[in-house]
């Protein structure tokens, strides 16, 4: 029996690389799509078998001439910088590219799984329920979230028009953390930033709150460990999920203080936390709480327990220490 082969976009990214690594363990072949320079330059990816590598800018030409017997598409490639303000760039990279992949999946009858984002929920005034009837009411706080929202709405409209892959699933990623994210720099998780600060002998710096009803450090996020995200992606393909857009978080929000304290504990270092002003470019677009409702994901059969924050942070810190991976600044 021939092995399955998946097309994975964003394969040199954080979640993408972890997903590709998991495919090797499961005996799944991959076609890895990204900027070819990233695969060798990002040292955290050392040892991962990326299979066939295709330049993200040449993907559709490659697809036009290569009939590779793909078993599905896992679309994780995107600009994920929540401070990016170039609307034309976000439209091209996050919306139009995704639309072309969806259309290819429709034409060739391929299952299609893609990454959406909790950034689509904006300030949370509509809540964090992934009922698809609520999606048109969401108002993202930044252009990145808006680009993800636009694709979610477009996909639902395409389905209503009868233009859909045989199976499809979008996941609204909440705050993913874990090994392999250093190239994200400013957009990397607070776990990695806290790790670097503590190892440098400094205290951990957290943003002050700009709201009187939220104490400093008590801003909350639904932090989800990357291994749990990878499990959900495989579930969508293997179970499989027939269709729909789902939250992918733990269902429990934790504070940034919890996250910092878990990092100190994992390193065995006494806590030292400083609160600093929030940058001007974040203040108007800042989410003070995110917490996924995961009822619909549970209802379609995803029953795996989510990793606790403390266990996930400890596993992440242990991996960083094992690889002696401390604060290289020059990665692309």
Domains of the chain from N-terminus onward: 5-175+224-248 (3.40.50.720), 184-222+252-289+308-322 (3.90.25.10)
Give pTM, 2 decimals: 0.94
Per-residue pLDDT, 196: 95
Per-residue pLDDT, 279: 85
Per-residue pLDDT, 285: 75
Instruction: Look at the block and give the residue holding tokens 């108007």.
Output: 284
**Which 8-state DSSP code applies to residue 78?**
S
The predicted-structure confidence for 108-134, as pLDDT tens digits, reads as follows: 999 999 999 999 999 899 999 999 999
Catalytic residues: 144, 184
**Low-confidence residues of the chain, pLDDT below 70?**
1-2, 67-68, 324-332
Residue 51 Ramachandran class (φ > 0 left, ψ -120 to 50 alpha, else beta): left
**Among the listed residues 222, 217, 228, the one whose alpha carbon sits nearest the alpha carbon of residue 194:** 217
Per-residue pLDDT, 80: 80
């Amino acid at each position: 029996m021939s092995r399955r082969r998946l097309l994975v976009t964003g394969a040199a990214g954080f979640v993408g690389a972890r997903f590709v690594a998991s495919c090797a363990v499961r005996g799944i072949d991959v076609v890895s799509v990204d900027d070819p320079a990233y695969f060798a330059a990002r040292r955290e990816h050392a040892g991962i078998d990326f299979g066939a590598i295709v330049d993200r800018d040449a993907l559709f030409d490659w697809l036009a001439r290569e009939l590779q017997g793909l078993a599905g598409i896992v679309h994780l490639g995107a600009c994920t910088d929540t401070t990016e303000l170039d609307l034309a760039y976000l439209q091209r990279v996050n919306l139009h590219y995704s639309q072309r992949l969806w259309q290819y999946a429709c034409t060739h009858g391929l299952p299609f799984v893609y990454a959406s984002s909790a950034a689509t929920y904006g300030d949370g005034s509509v809540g964090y329920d992934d009922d698809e009837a609520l999606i048109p009411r969401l108002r993202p706080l930044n252009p990145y979230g808006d680009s993800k929202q636009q694709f979610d709405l477009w996909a639902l409209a395409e389905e209503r028009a009868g233009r859909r892959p045989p199976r499809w699933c979008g996941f609204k990623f909440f705050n993913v953390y874990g090994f392999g994210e250093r190239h994200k720099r400013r957009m990397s998780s607070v776990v990695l930033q806290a790790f670097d600060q503590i190892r440098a002998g400094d205290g951990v710096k957290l943003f002050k709150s700009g709201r009187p009803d939220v104490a400093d450090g008590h801003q909350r996020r639904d932090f989800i460990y990357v291994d749990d995200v990878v499990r959900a992606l495989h579930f969508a393909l293997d179970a499989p999920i027939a269709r729909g857009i789902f939250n992918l978080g733990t269902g429990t929000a934790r504070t940034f203080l919890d996250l910092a304290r878990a990092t100190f504990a994992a390193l065995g270092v006494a806590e030292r936390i400083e609160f600093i002003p929030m940058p001007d470019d974040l203040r108007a677009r800042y989410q003070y709480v995110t917490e996924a409702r995961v009822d619909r994901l549970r209802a379609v059969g995803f029953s795996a327990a989510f990793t606790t924050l403390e266990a996930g942070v400890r596993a992440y810190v242990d991996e960083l220490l094992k690889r002696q991976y401390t604060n290289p600044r020059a990665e692309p």
